[in-house]
Each structure stands twice: as C-alpha cells, then as structure tokens.
Amino acid sequence: MVRAINEWCVDSGLTPHLLVAVNQRTRVPMAYVKNGEIVLNINYSATKDLHIDNEAIVFSARFGGVSQNLYVPMDAVKGIFARENGQGMFFEVEQESQATVDLSETDRMGADSVTEEKNTSVKAKPTLKIVK
C-alpha cells in the first residue's frame, strides 16, 4: 500500500510524506524526531536511491545540508499522505514497534548508546539505560 500511494502522489504531482513511529530499528536523524515520530518527504526530488519493498523503506536524504542514510521498517510506518491535501492512508503500528525512543534521553546520551530496557509489564512505560 505504501508503494502504491507513493506512486499515486507522484503521478498526481503531489508530494508524498511518510509518518514514522521511531523505534530501536528505525534509522532517522534523531534531531528531527518529535514525540517519538518523524515526518519524511519521500518525493524523488528530496531523496536519493529511494527503495520501497515489503520489509522496509531505504533512501538517502539531506538534513541540514548533510546527507544521511535512512532505514524505516514497514512496521514503523504510521501513514503516507500528500502534503498538499492530506489525502493518503494511515496504519496501526504493531505493539512492539510502538516502543519509541525518548528524545530528551537521546539528546543527552547520543542515539547510538541508547537501548531500550526490557520491561515485562505490558502497561509500564518503556525506559532507557546507558549501555557501555
């Protein structure tokens, strides 16, 4: 569905945007994540080597003038929509991919050193700890 809606946006002259729930498997620039989510412009003019398959969306894009490689697993995609009119499709994110990274902790410790602590309680909020 993501690939089809992306193609529909491009064919219609619209700009496709991806809403992503950031989790431990998602590779995006953490400085642009807000409330555990990020919105990405996936128009061909804004990306390089965009590849959408059944497992993930992979591409390179510039953030603040710096090229970065992004990896978004399909289970982290919350929606895809056209920027101009908001039309698109939104999805329910699977339970395990809803464990988002707390940005305040990430900013202090660095995104690479943060891992999610295993929590056996279903209703408990996930926590982060430093792993050295």
Query: Which class in CATH covers the domain with range 2-93?
Result: mainly beta
CA–CA separation, 98 and 17 (whole Å): 20
pLDDT digits (tens, 9 = 90+) for 8-52: 999 999 999 999 999 999 999 999 999 999 999 999 999 999 999
CB neighbour class for 92 (10 Å; exposed up to 12, middle 13-18, buried from 19): exposed
pLDDT digits (tens, 9 = 90+) for 80-98: 999 999 888 888 876 554 4
Q: Which two tokens stand for residue 35?
A: 């409330």
Residue 111: phi and psi, rounded to 5, are: -65, -35
Name the pTM for this structure: 0.69
Type of residue found at 121: S
